Amino acid sequence: MNLANKITLARIGAVPALMLLLQWPSRWSCLAAAVVFVAAAATDTLDGRIARSRNMVSNLGKFLDPLADKLLTLSVLVMLASLVDGTGQNWVPPWAVVVIMARELAVTGLRAMAMEQGMVLAADVFGKIKTVLQCVAIVPLLVHYPVLGLDPRPWGEAMLYLALAMTVFSGVNYCYSMRAMWGRDV
Quote the pLDDT of residue 119. 77
pLDDT at residue 180 in the model: 79
φ, ψ at 83 (rounded to 5°) = -85, 140
Q: What's the CATH number where 91 sits?
A: 1.20.120.1760
pLDDT at residue number 105: 93
Instruction: Name residues whose C-beta falls within 8 Å of residue 131's C-beta, 6 or more positions apart in sequence.
Output: 44, 69, 73
Weakly modelled stretches of the chain, pLDDT under 70:
184-186
How confident is the model over 102-131, as pLDDT tens digits? 999 999 888 888 878 877 777 789 988 999
pLDDT (0 to 100) of residue 36: 98
pLDDT on residue 184: 55
Any bridge partners for residue 94, and if so which? none
Residue type, 3: L
Contacts for 55 with CB less than 8 Å, ≥ 6 apart: none
Claim: this prediction has a pTM higher than 0.75:
yes
Structurally, the chain folds into a number of domains equal to 1
pLDDT at residue 83, rounded to an integer: 96
Nearest to 73 by CA among 48, 49, 96: 96
Report how far residue 120's alpha carbon sits from residue 122's, in angstroms, rounded to the nearest whole number: 6
Domain that holds residue 84: 3-182
